[in-house]
Amino acid sequence: MRTNLNVLTTLLFVVAVFDFGNVFAAGNATANGKYVTQAQAMITSMAKDDFNKAETDFTDVMKQAAPPAKLQEVWSAITAQQGDFEKISGTKTLAKDGYLNVLVETQFKNGALLFNVTFDAGGKIAGFHIVSAG
């Protein structure tokens, strides 16, 4: 089952390669707070089975690669393995190669998962994948 989950989440990770320089500042809490809020909203929307709302901040490429039906498929695979979503337990941000990555620590009934939500310079979600299981 873990292999299936990895394959599904790999399908979701779509990042266009652009050089935006240092658009994001890892230490800029005010600017990064917006992206943390967006990342949390995406995860929370999926937990509420609102997959249309979950893709609100996706880039056009992400919307094509991960339409609501695909998000639902991935979320169903996650909850089949990890149990019901319980909460977001923390976040961290990391600026790298012109992207801002928001690491969202989550708790499910059967354990923790760490999601990486990647934002492009335009503030859109350009990637989403599971980094690790706790």
Q: Report the pLDDT value the prediction gives residue 133, as an integer from 0 to 100.
A: 63
CB 11 within 8 A of CB 66: yes
Q: Answer whether residue 18 is part of any domain.
A: no
The residue range of the domain holding 112 is 2-12+24-133
Q: Report the pLDDT value the prediction gives residue 30, as an integer from 0 to 100.
A: 55
Q: Answer whether residue 108 is part of any domain.
A: yes
Q: Answer whether residue 95 is part of any domain.
A: yes
**Of 101, 107, 111, the residue nearest 39 (C-alpha):** 101
Going from the first residue of the chain to its last (134 residues), give the mean pLDDT of each consecutive group of 10, the final group possibly shorter. 46 35 45 90 97 96 96 96 96 89 96 96 93 71
For residue 98, report the phi and psi dihedrals to the nearest 5 degrees.
80, 10
Q: Report the pLDDT value the prediction gives residue 7, as an integer from 0 to 100.
A: 39
Q: Answer whether residue 17 is part of any domain.
A: no
HSE value, Cβ hemisphere, 13 Å, CA-based, for 18: 13
Q: Report the pLDDT value the prediction gives residue 80, as an integer from 0 to 100.
A: 96
Kindly report the number of other CB atoms within 10 A of residue 91's CB atom: 20
Rounded to two decimals, what is the model's pTM? 0.78
CB 13 within 8 A of CB 117: no
Count of the separate structural domains present in the chain: 1
Q: Answer whether residue 74 is part of any domain.
A: yes
Q: Answer whether residue 36 is part of any domain.
A: yes
Tokens 């989550």, located at residue: 106
132, β-bridge pairs: 114
Length of the chain: 134
CATH of the domain at 114: 3.10.450.590
Using CA atoms, how far apart are residues 6 and 4, in angstroms rounded to an integer? 5
Using CA atoms, how far apart are residues 43 and 105, in angstroms rounded to an integer? 10
Q: Report the pLDDT value the prediction gives residue 96, as an integer from 0 to 100.
A: 84
Q: Is 112 exposed, middle or buried (0-12, 13-18, 19+ CB in 10 A)?
A: middle
